[in-house]
Copies of this chain bind each other. A is one copy, B any other.
Amino acid sequence: MIRNDRIVEEEPSNLSSSIVATLKEQIIHWHYPPEHRLTEIELCKTFNVSRSPVREALRVLATDGFVKKLPNRGYVVRQHNIVEIEELYEVRLALELYAVECLAKRGPLNKNDGEDLVKLKRTWTGLLNGSSKKAEELARLDTQFHETLAQAAGNKMLLRHLRTINERLMLFRMIDFDKTDRAKSTCHQHLKILKCITAQDTPGARATMQQNIEEGRNNVHTAIKDALARAYSMKT
């Protein structure tokens, strides 16, 4: 989970919240197949708690869209299909283009935000020259990069919406970074974005950001289509 130094939502320590966190994590990591039914009693057994916290957790997950509620019939896990993934990438694009535009237009940043961007520059320069990392680590750092920019843009609502989207895209970012040379091109794009921001080159920042996100979207798209094609060819 990405924890930022300044905007943190304190999570209360009760059973319900930890069940939400655990189930969310499991659903994001495809622990359950799509449309898998979640019955309250079974969850009670696995978590060793009563139905009250489980019910509250499921309701929260339903409002967040991780599970679907069937009236009087409980819940099923709601796994995103390829169309929804692409939609999420597009919403991400809309929000991040706006964020990076704000940053580039604003000019000199305050101390905190400036330091954050310097850190990002250091991190991604290091990744460019250093040894190769695992896809999971790269996905984490990538999310951190984009959320730090949104944070520096200074709009908490934007950051909040971006985070709910990124939660859903985490696994697909990993698929993205499985692709050869993706890490390298991302490094270049990220560093260019940072350079454009400090140079107040708004169109350049926007264009590079768009390139960066759409490259990811395309990688994920082809990866999923390939996987589906393989699955289909195995059946026939």
Question: A residues touching B (Cβ–Cβ < 8 Å)?
Answer: 10, 12-14, 16, 52, 55-56, 59-60, 63-65, 69, 71-72, 84, 87-88, 90-91, 93-95, 97-99, 155-158, 160-161, 165
Contacts and interface: CB of A to CB of B under 8 A. Distances in A.
A27 to B, nearest CB: 15
A82 to B, nearest CB: 13
A165 to B, nearest CB: 8
B84 A94 contact: no
Contacts of A52: 52, 55
Contacts of A93: 98
A12 B72 CA distance: 9
Nearest to A70: B12
A161 B161 contact: yes
A71 B16 CA distance: 12
A33 B207 CA distance: 44
A90 B94 CA distance: 12
A71 B14 contact: yes
A91 B13 contact: no
A236 B98 CA distance: 41
Contacts of A98: 90-91, 93-94, 97
